[in-house]
A and B are shown apart, each in its own frame.
Chain A
Amino acid sequence: MTTWLFRRLLQAAMVVLAMTIIVFVGLHVVGDPVTTFAPPEATQADLARIRENLGLDRPFALQYVSFLSDLVRGDLGTSYVYGVPALELVLSRMPATFELAATAMAISIVIGIGLGIYCGLYPEKSVSRAIMAGSIFGFSLPTFWVGIMLIMLFSVELGWLPSGGRGETVTVLGLRWSFLTWDGLAHLLLPAINLALFKMSLLLRLTRAIVRETLPKDYVKFARAKGLPERRVLGVHVLKNIMIPIVTIIGLELGSVVAFAVVTETVFAWPGMGKLIIDSIQILDRPVILAYLIIIVLMFVVLNLIVDILYAVLDPRVRQGMMS
């Protein structure tokens, strides 16, 4: 187990290193950062001086090494637009994104898994068929368009909910939260539903498939043969076993929800990291793009690691396999 964990950690570190190389090469070799922020009347000599100041005239490998050492010290440069450290800027937008992503994930877990179990237990019922047909739309509808439609219906036509922004926030533990005020909650609802829709369909279909796969298994038959009440068979024997793959998927999708929040945040003008990165890409604010990509890559690697470890903790079979 320890060897496995060590190997897995090393692998994660390698992935992070590889991604820093890709991001560094991508952002610093393709295109010249100097021309994007030097004034148009700058002479060749000016450009050369800026290049020298930024250290861009040094050999490439050296630049990468100094970038890495800056990265370790948490220094990712200063945003060209906001004039504050890029890392700080991205981190300050993080709670808003996490709040949105967590709410969306909670909605999709509760509804997706609940309906998925129902559809798996009663696949022939017409309600189940209707739910399954509806989930095809959940897959096919482009998220950004659904968002616009939600705004059109609930904000413009009915006037029930606000169309964008974060609303009133409360500061708890030094961070601003929307879900603790009624106004903030009203602002959170539409974006969270929008972001949840795709994952909900995914979880629904997955849960249904797993439930249908599990029901005919021997241990379920045996539990029934023992005369256990149906509630215990489903609640303990079935649920315990279907939870393993579902937890894995939830863990992996958690990161993907944060990434896809980019789309929802743009539609609903939600002031999170996603909105920031899209704005930054459009105005070529390289330090911010860099900071966002590094943070999100780090987040993914850590999430994958946690899921792998959880998987081993949850499933004795996997644990056994790793020992030998």
Chain B
Amino acid sequence: MTALTEYRTSPPPPQKMENDQTQFRQFVRQFLNSRLAVAGLVVFVLMVLAAILAPLVAPQDPYDLNTLNIMNSFLPPRSEDFMGEYVFWLGSDGQGRDMLSGMLYGLRTSLTVGVGSAIIACMFGASMGLMAGFFGGRFDALVMRLVDLHLSFPTILIAMMILAFLGPGLVNVVVAIIVVEWAYYARTVRATALVENQREYMEAADSLVLGRARKVFRHLLPNCLPPLIVIATIQVARAISLEATLSFLGLGVPITEPSLGLLISNGYEQVIAGRYWISVYPGVALLILIVSINLVGDHLREILNPSNQR
């Protein structure tokens, strides 16, 4: 039995190697067609690199209290520190912390929380959707009822409810974002899985008496990927934005690990005093990050949406 399945279960489409490669090349070529999307991708990759390399590229370690001096507080952009040795390109905050360094570290928190929670939500939501589409029946009805209920409430309300139960904190924000986002993945994957489940290759897999897990993960899942990728891209941007909003509201990440949203929040009171840079620059960074992801997502949707190809 195993020998037989090993022998004849080349997943669809037929002539896998060749076809996959040309398909992938075609995808890359189509992606490169849009200058905006490529620019978005480049900016996003640069920001990820900047976040990963923050300890190396940041002029200052914003968490190291020894490097901070209260004499440097609230310096406007491009001013030197009081010793005249160091330039605050984007100004400093109330503790004399270099804004640029703070933003690089904030980017780290924002990206970790956003991408991390989006990935976990994707895995959970996609599994639920895949199983609902594959098994159908009661399980499908239950999951979809839950998804409908979920999507009838706005994201911010659900996130607020979770954080009201659990209290603020980094892990709790991740939990809140996962709870908010899983339904979007589940709905999308389930819709695709329902269609794909009727295809010939699934019938072929049936007639080969393959195990359920194998059918779902090796045959069904790869064919549900295109819409999943589109959703995942856009949900990463939404997760980052949601985290920033929650942190601004004081329900998010702790002050010890400020994200871009918390940096903006810290600068909020200073805006009235005319110290614009503490809120503006982290906001611009956040905006660039979200727009670059959305540009990539928009174009991916155009390429991967089957109705646009025919």
Number of interface residues of B (CB under 8 A): 41
B161 touches A293 (CB 8 A): yes
Given known contacts A149-B280, A163-B272, A255-B154, A262 and B160 CB-to-CB distance under 8 angstroms: yes
Q: How far is the CA of A277 from the CA of B251 in the complex (A)?
A: 11
Which A residues between 119 and 147 are near B, CB-CB below 8 angstroms? 136-137, 139-145
Assembled-state Cα–Cα distance A284/B251 (Å)? 12
Stretch at the interface among A22-30, A185-193, A219-227: A22-30
Q: Is the CB of B291 within 8 A of A136?
A: yes
Contacts of B156 in A (CB 8 A): 259-260, 262-263
**Which of chain B's residues have a CB closer than 8 A to the CB of A282?**
168, 250-251
Q: Is there contact, CB below 8 Å, between B272 and A18?
A: no
Q: Does B117 contact A (CB under 8 A)?
A: no
Residues of the A chain whose Cβ atoms lie less than 8 Å from the Cβ of B290 = 140, 142
Residues of chain A contacted by B248 (CB below 8 angstroms): 142, 144, 263, 266
**B152 contacts A304, C-beta separation under 8 Å:** yes
Judged by a CB distance under 8 angstroms, whether A94 is at the interface is: no
Interchain CB contact under 8 A, A148 and B274: no
A156 on the interface (CB 8 Å rule)? Answer: yes
Q: Which residues of A contact B276 (CB under 8 A)?
A: 152, 156
Q: Tell me the A254-268 residues at the B interface (CB within 8 Å).
A: 255-256, 259-260, 262-263, 266-267
Q: Which of B114-173 contact A (CB under 8 A)?
A: 149, 152-154, 156-157, 160-168
Interface residues of B in 225-260 (CB under 8 A from A): 237, 241, 244-245, 248-251
Q: Point out the residues of chain A lying under 8 angstroms from B167, CB to CB.
A: 31, 284
CB neighbours of B166 from chain A (8 A): 30
Q: What 1/0 mask marks residues of chain B from 38 to 62 whose CB sits below 8 Å from any chain A CB?
A: 0000000000000000000000000
Among B153, B251, B280, B283, which residue has its beta carbon within 8 angstroms of that of A281?
B251
B149 touches A23 (CB 8 A): no
Interface string of A189-201 (1 = CB under 8 A from B): 0000000000000
| Known contacts A142-B245, A148-B279; is-contact A278 B268 (Cβ 8 Å) | no
Please report whether the interface of chain A is mostly helix, strand, loop or mixed according to DSSP: helix
Contact in complex: B280, A300 (CB < 8 Å): no
The reply to whether A281 and B274 form a contact with Cβ atoms under 8 Å apart is no
Tell me, rounded to whole Å, the shortest Cβ–Cβ distance linking B278 to chain A: 10
Q: Are B157 and A142 in contact (CB under 8 A)?
A: no
A15 within 8 A of B: yes
Closest Cβ neighbor of B247 among chain A residues:
A144
Q: Quick check: is A90 within 8 A (CB to CB) of the other chain?
A: no
For the A-B complex, the count of residue pairs with Cβ-Cβ distances under 8 Å equals 109
B286 contacts the other chain (CB 8 A): yes
User: Which residue from chain A places its CB closest to the CB of B166 in the assembled complex?
Assistant: A30
Count A-side interface residues using an 8 Å CB cutoff: 44
Known A149-B280, A163-B272: A281·B163 in contact at CB below 8 Å: yes
Q: Determine the distance from Cα of A149 to Cα of B268 in the docked complex, in whole angstroms.
A: 10
Whole-angstrom distance between the Cβ of B283 and the nearest chain A Cβ: 4
Contact B154 A256 (CB under 8 A): yes
Q: Are B165 and A148 in touch, CB under 8 angstroms?
A: no
CA distance A15 to B167 in the complex (A): 25
* Most chain A Cβ neighbours within 10 Å, of B164, B271, B294, B298: B164
Q: Contact at B272–A156, with CB atoms within 8 Å? A: yes
A296 at the interface (CB under 8 A from B): yes
Task: Establish whether residues B249 and A156, one from each chain, have CB atoms under 8 Å apart when the complex forms.
Answer: no
Task: Mark out the residues of chain B between 204 and 221 whose CB falls within 8 Å of any chain A CB in the assembled complex.
Answer: none
Question: Cβ of B104: which chain A residues have Cβ within 8 Å of it?
Answer: none
Q: How far is B153's CA from A304's CA once the two chains are assembled, in angstroms?
A: 10
- With the chains together, A307 CA to B251 CA distance in Å? 32
> B264 interface residue, CB < 8 Å from A?
yes
Partner of B274, one of A156, A163, A256: A156
When chains A and B are docked, how far (Å) is the Cα of A284 from the Cα of B261?
22
| A296 near B157: Cβ-Cβ < 8 Å | yes
Q: Is the CB of A145 within 8 A of B249?
A: no
State the Cβ distance, A10 to closest chain B Cβ, in Å: 14
Partner of A140, one of B152, B268, B279, B291: B291
Min Cβ gap B195→A in Å is: 22
Minimum CB–CB distance for B194 against chain A, Å: 21
Q: B residues within 8 A CB of A27?
A: 164-165
Query: In the complex, what's the smallest C-beta–C-beta distance from A202 to chain B, in angstroms?
Result: 12
Which chain B positions have C-beta within 8 A of A31?
Answer: 165, 167
Residue A203, interface by CB 8 Å:
no
Interface string of B255-297 (1 = CB under 8 A from A): 0000001001101100110101001100100110011001000
Cβ contacts A214-235/B at 8 Å (1 or 0 each): 0000000000000000000000
Q: Who on chain B is nearest to A304 by CB? A: B152
User: For chain A residues 1-44, which have a beta carbon within 8 Å of chain B?
Assistant: 15, 18, 22-23, 26-27, 30-31
Contact A152 B245 (CB under 8 A): no
Residue of A nearest to B290 (CB): A140
Interchain residue pairs with CB less than 8 A apart (24): A26-B162, A27-B164, A136-B298, A140-B287, A142-B261, A144-B245, A144-B261, A145-B264, A148-B264, A148-B267, A148-B283, A152-B271, A152-B276, A152-B279, A152-B280, A156-B272, A156-B274, A156-B276, A262-B160, A262-B249, A266-B249, A267-B268, A277-B164, A297-B153
8 tightest CB-CB pairs across the interface, nearest first? A26-B165, A256-B154, A145-B283, A259-B157, A259-B154, A144-B248, A140-B290, A140-B291
Q: Which residues of B does A touch, CB under 8 Å?
A: 149, 152-154, 156-157, 160-168, 237, 241, 244-245, 248-251, 261, 264-265, 267-268, 271-272, 274, 276, 279-280, 283, 286-287, 290-291, 294, 298
Starting from the known contacts A142-B283, A152-B271, 5 additional A-B residue pairs (CB-CB under 8 Å) come to A27-B164, A149-B280, A263-B248, A267-B268, A284-B167
